[in-house]
Structure 1
């Protein structure tokens, strides 16, 4: 892991005071604070996610005593007058850098800022700072410093002579982002209760499991709000196999992840793409160009609408001719494992395989495709699996077991790395 954050802190703490002798418009360090480091941090944390902005501040015309870098999500607000944010800010004596979750601070009234901070703390369940959490002291005495100190919801303090390792700094930032996104989710959707045993990571529009890095398969349910059966299936498959998983926690009518990005669903789609990138990085299967380098099976589970099927049915769809071999293997596996299964002695399960041309209107129902992660080797296979209501409602355990076995067999059939036996 490159020392992106640690090196930046060290460079500012060691060089900022001396650099202030240079005109800010001609300073390399000012550029790094305001543009260079923010761009690197954004590319590292949110590749392709346009809902996050990262910018720095070293001063307007003259140097500020307390330089900072701010991370902000579009759903939180448009400026530091209205938006909660995550900030790296340095004390005036450069002995400390604070990584803080901040209420909007560019306001005249310190009382208004303090009221907002208490609202955010109550919303997030953060205890009073007397319990031992770090407090912000920028040692500047300026109006900006006072506003930022008052706007600090919770922070982590790093001493100049005791900077942690990069892995610790990066992990602290990821935890802060998780708390930040939780606050935005509460703001947008209200305080949604989750199951006490749910160990998945919660974001604003989705929740996900990273899974076992050696299980190169992924399951998702992006219409979970309108069909709880697919959500239960995905959770069951993830627990059984250790594969990664993603479930939409927002309204699919308002934030439809099964459509190309548009002004209505854009924030949710970008979060989805960013989450998939996190999962791939966790599995360590991307090359320097973000292309998948090992066989990977991506299963998107959907409901067949009532009246749009003829009894017990499973439809497997693919949209790249190059992945036909994997799609055909998958559908044959489903057909074989469900051949003796029927609902109350009725007709056996019908399994169909269909190709959806990317140039057709029908393709736009399928949202994402493999172009983003595939090169000429076509190792990334995206399949849409639609299931009739009778199977989803009355045969979930059988479906979970069948798809679990298929994921296990995919790893041995296509992937070079063996995985352990199913639990």
Structure 2
């Protein structure tokens, strides 16, 4: 992996990246870095792991006092990923094909229980309707293969931060966004699943990334 001031990252060979922006202590989403590293290793997708604590500079927020430099480093690397895929024509900011961004986060075993995953899309603002429908169907199917006891919830408690939508729709002139083909999901995984069932979680999201390539990335 390459190392920046606030993140470490690697390029991939798919139209997808996964990240764990809250991987650094204190107040880390524990084990999210291991999950992201596992998905990268199995899929060859690009990835980002935060190396700065959210108490110092939160990468999952819009840029502002205290986190401006960190957020722009993070956004710059995402831009490099997109150019590396060839999805952006020279001088263009709009993606030619669908792209998938999975943000791996950690939540407590409450409010949904120890076997739960909540997906935040800010009620559909971070992704297309088609890709959201696909993501839900594939994720639930893969989860059922592991355990019928795991609940998958969308946009109920952890709906996602508005910074996630900025990759799609932009945030003023300084960050115009990449258009309707950018699809981002904030995935909150319960502590029990992260701590005791990491291999299964890695396999589940490995399958999701692979299915995305089959469904949306044919040349």
The TM-score normalised by the length of structure 2 is 0.86
State the Cα RMSD in Å: 2.0
Q: 2:185 corresponds to which residue?
A: 383
Q: 1:79 corresponds to which residue?
A: none
Shift in alpha-carbon separation, 1:364–1:407, aligned structure 2, 3 A: closer
Q: 2:100 corresponds to which residue?
A: 297
CA distance in 1, matches of 2:15, 2:80: 14
> Gaps spanning 5+ residues in structure 2: where?
171-176
3-state DSSP of counterpart to 1:334: helix
- Number of residue pairs aligned between Structure 1 and Structure 2: 205
CA distance in 1, matches of 2:2, 2:156: 33
CA distance in 2, matches of 1:235, 1:265: 24
Give the CA deviation at 1:324.
2.1
CA distance in 2, matches of 1:337, 1:364: 22
Q: 2:195 corresponds to which residue?
A: 393
Is the CA contact 1:316–1:352 (under 8 Å) kept in the aligned structure 2? yes
Give the CA deviation at 1:315.
1.0
Name the one with the larger helix percent.
1
Give the CA deviation at 1:340.
4.1
3-state DSSP of counterpart to 2:37: helix
CA distance in 1, matches of 2:160, 2:209: 26
Residue 349 in structure 1 maps to residue 121 in structure 2: no
Q: 2:70 corresponds to which residue?
A: 268
Q: 1:328 corresponds to which residue?
A: 133
Q: 2:169 corresponds to which residue?
A: 371
Q: 2:174 corresponds to which residue?
A: none
Query: Which of 56, 59, 66 is the matching residue for 1:257?
Result: 59
Is the CA contact 1:219–1:246 (under 8 Å) kept in the aligned structure 2? yes
- CA deviation vs aligned residue, 1:67-114 (integer Å, no higher than 9, x gap): xxxxxxxxxxxxxxxxxxxxxxxxxxxxxxxxxxxxxxxxxxxxxxxx
CA distance in 2, matches of 1:393, 1:403: 16
> Gaps spanning 5+ residues in structure 1: where?
1-199, 357-361, 418-423
Q: 2:41 corresponds to which residue?
A: 239
The TM-score normalised by the length of structure 1 is 0.46
Query: Which of 4, 14, 17 is the matching residue for 1:218?
Result: 17
Residue 206 in structure 1 maps to residue 7 in structure 2: yes
CA distance in 2, matches of 1:218, 1:355: 24
Residue 338 in structure 1 maps to residue 140 in structure 2: no
Query: Which of 118, 129, 136 is the matching residue for 1:315?
Result: 118
3-state DSSP of counterpart to 2:119: strand
CA distance in 2, matches of 1:409, 1:327: 13
Higher Cα Rg, which structure: 1
Give the CA deviation at 1:314.
0.7
Give the CA deviation at 1:284.
1.6
Q: 2:218 corresponds to which residue?
A: 416
3-state DSSP of counterpart to 1:338: helix
Is the CA contact 1:219–1:244 (under 8 Å) kept in the aligned structure 2? yes
Give the CA deviation at 1:367.
2.4
Q: 1:173 corresponds to which residue?
A: none
Shift in alpha-carbon separation, 1:398–1:408, aligned structure 2, 3 A: same
